[in-house]
Structure 1
Amino acid sequence: MENTVVRIKDLVKRYGDLIALDHFELEIKDGEIFGLLGPNGSGKTTTINCLLSLLSFDKGDIEIFGKKMTPVSYDIKKEIGVIMQNVAVFDELTVYENIDYFCGLYISDKAKRRQYVEEAIKFVGLEDFRKFYPKKLSGGLLRRLNIACGIAHKPKLIILDEPTVAVDPQSRNRILEGIQELNRNGATVIYTSHYMEEVEQICTRIAIMDKGRKVAEGTKDELKRMIKNTETITIEILELPGKVLGEVAGLPHIYDADYVDGRLVLSCSGGKHNLTRVLDVLHKHELGFGRVYTELPTLNDVFLEITGKALRDKED
């Protein structure tokens, strides 16, 4: 039986007339890497702050590990690791001293703490930088230090809020691999990011928020089945008479056909043999064509269709 690690029920948070969380609900099971997505202002950061009891709320209940979460739930908090978007380390402490300090907030036994700090340093690949001060680290190494400080005490629940912002590809890859390893070692992970390819790569289940509500939830494949576009077909073709374009557009499952600058782009909804039908029409009219390729929807396509394409500048 799956254990529920996080349960949020009927959560409401208001800032004056603004409703930041509108009867928001969420369940996260033990062992998941759970992606929490949403445009700016959707309520992601507010949700995390309420979850950690850093922010009071107007209505609702939050349970973690089956217990009600409150500002004084220290037995729960010691089992949580938090890595926020803004790096939070001490400039006057070295890499080792920073990790030791944060680990020491939860682990009082000195020998055990020393072991945990060394394991955290090795885990994020900072062995050669243990005596460096944060100002001497690159952005990617600083992010990895931030992660080490958040996970050194071996928490059961790890919350990562945009951990790969402004880092180099090598550090990003190292961070993502590290998150998956933490998960394999037994940690449940809540992951927020604007990088959809990262979420698609590592998350087992995903919720999309907008305007303080959960608007979609499921695996990446389940989410992709929720949107209209299931396949995009692109064909390079120099000539396409209007009559033939009309015939192609009238085929089953094709809901949009666009021919511009020698490229026929078709949007499909459902169906298993869409490309075959299109090529049959072109062959029938003896029309030559060049490159042909099809694309399945990405998580980014899902996100934009569900939340809209308008720019959002407001923070959470």
Structure 2
Amino acid sequence: MAKMLSRVAPWLASRKDGAAPGVAVRTLGGSDTSQLMDLARQDAVANVFILSHLAIAGSAAPTTGGASILGVFDGGTLLGACWAGANLVPVQLDPELAGTVAASAHRSGRRYASIFGPADTVLALYAGLERFGQSAHEIRSDQPLMTIAGPPAVAPDEHLGFGQLADFDRILPACAAMFEEEVGYSPFLGGREYYSRRVKGLIRAGHSMVHLDASGEVVFKAELGAVTPEVTQVQGVWMNPEYRGQGLSAGYMAAVVGLAQNLAPVTSLYVNNFNTRARATYERVGFRQVGTFATVLF
């Protein structure tokens, strides 16, 4: 991080929150929805998270759950934005404006579970928060952002289908196992209710995909964490350890693409650069890198 800090330090909080003359940060309201939508549409893949939120909520105003969107303005022009809920998610935010946003996010008093999005901006946001004493549990600075449009390059596994609420008690433990493998702790640490609601919500929305074996155990599962008419983003890819190493992943991922493309023409995901097996599988299916994300876990 030393190199990144030296590069971004001149515009962090020690320099009036990094704000250039005429630039200000404020929480967006309903009247800002159109500007935010136009901003996010500049990159429909990188910004699928916020575009999915806007498609559901219909507004840039703060949510009933307490999440808000910080906007960086030069006069009346929205230069960039950042979702501030359980996570920080930048939207077309220039890294040179990240110090200003980090200062505002810190002043809110909220603790964030992660920052994710385009790598340069994520690392700049973290550098800003680090100046206020917030330390990361883990920094994943190189996560290829990949997409596929059109049919997959391998045959899909036809066993994969959309998850059903009747199978919730089978799907939830698989989701929890994936989460713990990915981030290193159980999603149930603060109680089961929130995570259970999240998994049920994905099933109800038709965004959960799963294959159960003859005994009812999950063989493979994945979810669409964000969905717009243009792009879906795959998350939570998990194979039961008993079925790993059998060459099944590519067929399942091809099936994920086929199901996702019923909802939007472009399927996206991001993956840790060090996960060479997963990257090779995605490339075999037909995914190609279009950018680089980073994730900071607190």
Q: TM-score range by the shorter chain?
A: under 0.3
Q: Which has the larger radius of gyration?
A: 1
* TM-score, with structure 2 as normaliser: 0.28
